[in-house]
Structure 1
Amino acid sequence: MPRTEGYSALLAGATGLVGFQLLRQLLKDDHCRSLTVLARRPLPHLPELAAFRDKLHVITADFDRMGEALADVQADVVFCALGTTIKKAKSQDAFRQVDLGYPVALGEWAKANEAKKLIIVSAMGANEKSVVFYNRVKGEAEALLSAIGVPELHIVRPSLLLGKREEFRPGERVAVLLSPALKLLMRGPLLSYRPVHAEDVAAFMRSLASAPAEQLAPIVNVYENHAITANQPKV
């Protein structure tokens, strides 16, 4: 695939499952010339991060003051890997703020600051008319982001994410343990529901960043789980 000459990037959600993989991959990717990370808490002190101190700029700030925190930032590509759970957020309103309010604010910043691409992790089943709260919020966020008019909006909808999380999620832990068996069973039409590793989602998002710009703008592309898993080893 042809590549661009390079881009500056902004990443929100770098302490999450997909976001941390994106952080590590973008730092090592020569197509990403500079990387600004917007985080609500300090990043972990890892030797691999220190090795990229000239490329990496971290802004720790209250996301409710996102515009102020990003006042001096410019980015060609904006990555959004923000997300939480009801258990962690403690209320539906707080969940909506993290999974809808902050991503939309980031999209508005991207539009106002002339970013070329916004690439966001959503979820399989996202639908603003869904009776399931989680799926409905994800769908509402997608609809609002689509209306902002960023030149390119890329929405990535993975299935169950595999990877090591900071918090314990019993349901996901069971699914992870069963994932080898699930992959064997999920063939044909069920391939779309195969669990996917967070690092593969990050790699897919990164490929979208360095792909040539679309000819028509604004455009909205939605990638379902099978697009992410298409290049994974078959079992």
Structure 2
Amino acid sequence: MSKTAIILGATGLTGSILLEKLIANNYYKKIILFSRNSVTNTSTKIEEHLIDLLKLEEYKDQFIGDEVFCCIGTTGSKTKNKKLYKRIDYGIPVSAANLAKQNNINTFIVISSMGADVESSMFYNRTKGEMERDVLQQNIKNTFILRPSLIGGKRNEFRFGEKIGKGIMSILNPLFMGNLKKYKMIHPKEIANCMQILASKTENERIISSDKILTIANYKE
């Protein structure tokens, strides 16, 4: 069966890897991208819409597919204005879920974060928790929320705090075993692989913790 995927955030660290995986997957005939910037890949599978993602709801007629992969996210250092931050990290995924519901798209997969909690006193964690809550309220049949720990890999932009964190985590990673495995730094390739697998399989869990992401990503049939 040929499928159409929608990706939000295909120019980001995880989204760009996911795009390459879906292009290589023969099950996908079309990959629709909603982005601010163009991707470098010239595959004929790609249908690209360069838009203001904060106005995503205006593109309902183009938001047609079988699966939605939402890889949108920002940081406090990149987006210092909290109102704008929330419009990105909360508003875009929730708008995408709302459009998916309206257009009868039955699979919605979004990257959140470890520590997401609607009751958290931390703005970042609370915003992610509110996003998760309101995405789930759309009651899309196959909704999966991924909660990765610190994401490794090399970004196109420099993030000082994240660089320090990655350096520390690379040393501590071997120590995270058993119940602590969910705290291990995770590679974006593993997140992208997990997203692709979840789109074609049925899971009982809607919230996918970082250790479960690793398990799914590295599963061999």
Q: CA deviation at 1:232?
A: 5.3
Equivalent residue, structure 2, for 1:229:
214
Equivalent residue, structure 2, for 1:194:
184
Q: Which amino acid aligns with 1:15?
A: T
* Equivalent pairs, count: 218
1:129 matched to 2:114? The reply is no
* Structure 2: gaps (5+ residues): none
Q: CA deviation at 1:23?
A: 1.1
SS for the counterpart of 2:110 is strand
Q: CA deviation at 1:148?
A: 1.2
Equivalent residue, structure 2, for 1:42:
38
5 Å-filtered alignment, 1:31-180, equals 31-43=27-39, 45=40, 49-50=41-42, 52-53=43-44, 55-180=45-170
1:13 matched to 2:9? The reply is yes
Bigger shift: residues 6-15 or 177-186: 177-186
Q: Which amino acid aligns with 1:40?
A: R
The whole-number CA distance in structure 1 between the counterparts of 2:130 and 2:54 is: 19
- So what's the TM-score if we normalise by structure 1? 0.87
* Structure 1: gaps (5+ residues): none
Cα distance change on mapping 1:157 and 1:100 into 2, 3 Å: same
Q: CA deviation at 1:65?
A: 2.5
The whole-number CA distance in structure 2 between the counterparts of 1:123 and 1:161 is: 10
Cα distance change on mapping 1:193 and 1:220 into 2, 3 Å: closer
Preserved contact between residue 153 and residue 220 of structure 1 (Cα < 8 Å):
no
Preserved contact between residue 153 and residue 221 of structure 1 (Cα < 8 Å):
yes
- So what's the TM-score if we normalise by structure 2? 0.92
Preserved contact between residue 194 and residue 214 of structure 2 (Cα < 8 Å):
no
Q: 2:24 aligns with which of 4, 12, 28?
A: 28
